[in-house]
């Protein structure tokens, strides 16, 4: 260390550190300043253990791009409880990373922090995280088990895009906003729950997924275009809001090439540049709306493009919501599992319930 002041970078053991505060004696793990080091696949060991203190400084964070390199063969990371933040791109493109412990003292994980960590299969998001930032886990294609914090409020743009390992998404009811493309390309995702308190959904949020049924809550106020684009398995969408959420959807948008131009009836007459990611999906699905609101939905932008719109009694969904569970398990009286409670006697989360 040449001088003892904030911003000074020093090396100890396998890692570089930058002093954050001389007064508080804190530092963060930082990126190597030398190309021959951060481009060397063997510069870091496969199993990384970050110390809690080093040279009298408390290690409180993982700095910008600290381990962000496609060259490294890092497989496991053990973080101390002293870590309170992880900066953007901290573990970007670590293709062999399979395990990292994120302690509950961490209050922020930056954008792109784990982008392209293709071997990461399980993640526990710390309990004080309220926002999952842009591209945070983008293209973590093996990610299948996610523990969300109970106070999570927003999932930003493309946060879990192309996470094809996700099959059943269970969000906490605290989430109120889902960004553009947040789960785009999660091609094996068949179910999603916990959308009851969502107020806004960004464009292409669930594009290219295997969703069959989706339940949207009464607080939904706005949706951007094509949130169910190319969801070929989509059969039904239930919404509890009697007032159609606003939308900027434009079926004539000319989008970037993503596949074969739409061949569905909804795509007819829109020209060769119309792609299969806007109307395709909803043009073969039924939209179920609260009783008395069908006329409003038939005239509302985006919603009117569903293949069919029907009214339903939302009492069954409200019963589930009041049960305060993020993933209701529903069976009919004969023991057959259902994705949505139809009228009659049902077994919801182990309790007999009359759905009217």
pLDDT in tens, the chain (356 residues): 444 456 899 999 999 999 999 999 999 999 999 988 988 888 999 999 999 999 999 999 999 999 998 788 999 999 999 999 999 999 999 999 999 999 999 999 999 999 999 999 999 999 999 999 999 999 999 999 999 999 999 999 999 999 999 999 999 999 999 999 999 999 999 999 999 899 999 988 999 999 999 999 999 999 987 899 889 899 999 999 999 999 988 776 644 444 444 443 344 444 444 444 467 688 889 999 999 999 999 999 999 999 999 999 887 666 555 444 444 567 665 555 665 566 666 666 555 566 65
Residue/partner pairs of 1-8 with CB below 8 Å, 24 or more apart: 1/55
Kindly give, in sequence order, each residue whose CB lies less than 8 Å from that of residue 280, ignoring residues fewer than 6 positions away: 229, 230, 232, 262, 264, 266, 267
Q: Residue 288 and residue 83: Cα distance in Å, rounded?
A: 47
- 160-200 pLDDT, tens digit per residue, is 999 999 999 999 999 999 999 999 999 999 999 999 899 99
Give residue 314's pLDDT. Answer: 83
User: Rounded to the nearest 5 degrees, what angle is found at the Cα of 140, between the Cα atoms of 137 and 146?
Assistant: 65
pLDDT of 113-156, one tens digit each? Answer: 999 999 999 999 999 999 999 999 999 999 999 999 999 999 99
Residue 340 contacts residue 330 (beta carbons within 8 Å): yes
> Would you say 140 and 122 are in contact if contact means Cβ atoms under 8 Å apart?
no
């Amino acid at each position: 260390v040449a001088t003892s002041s904030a911003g000074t970078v020093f090396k100890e053991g396998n890692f570089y550190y930058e002093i954050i505060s001389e007064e508080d004696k804190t530092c963060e793990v930082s990126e190597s300043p030398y190309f021959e080091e951060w481009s060397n696949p063997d510069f870091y060991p496969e199993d990384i253990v970050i110390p809690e203190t080093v040279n009298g400084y408390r290690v409180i964070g993982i700095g910008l791009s600290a381990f962000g390199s496609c060259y490294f063969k890092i497989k496991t990371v053990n973080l101390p409880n002293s870590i309170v933040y992880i900066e953007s791109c901290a573990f970007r493109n670590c293709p062999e990373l399979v395990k990292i412990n994120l302690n509950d003292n961490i209050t922020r994980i930056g954008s792109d922090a784990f982008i392209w960590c293709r071997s990461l299969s399980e993640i526990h998001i710390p309990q004080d995280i309220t926002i999952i930032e842009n591209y945070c886990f983008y293209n973590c294609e093996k990610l299948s088990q996610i523990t969300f914090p109970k106070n999570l409020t927003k999932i930003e743009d493309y946060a879990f895009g192309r996470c094809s390992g996700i099959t059943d998404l269970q969000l906490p009811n605290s989430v109120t906003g889902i960004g553009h493309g947040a789960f785009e390309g999660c091609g094996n995702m068949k179910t999603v729950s916990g959308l009851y308190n969502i107020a806004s959904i960004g464009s292409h949020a669930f594009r290219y997924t295997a969703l069959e049924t989706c339940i949207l809550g009464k607080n939904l106020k706005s949706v951007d275009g094509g949130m169910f684009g190319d969801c070929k398995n989509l059969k039904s969408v239930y919404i509890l809001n009697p007032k159609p959420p606003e939308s900027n959807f434009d079926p004539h948008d000319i989008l970037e090439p993503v596949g074969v131009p739409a061949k569905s009836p909804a795509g007819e007459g829109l020209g060769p540049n119309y792609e299969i990611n806007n109307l395709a999906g909803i043009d073969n699905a039924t939209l179920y709306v609260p009783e008395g609101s069908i006329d409003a939905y038939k005239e509302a932008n985006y919603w009117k493009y569903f293949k069919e719109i029907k009214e339903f009694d939302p009492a069954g969904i409200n019963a589930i919501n009041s049960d305060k569970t993020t993933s209701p398990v529903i069976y009919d009286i004969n023991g057959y599992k259902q994705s949505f409670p139809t009228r009659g006697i049902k077994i919801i989360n182990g309790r007999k319930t009359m759905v009217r």
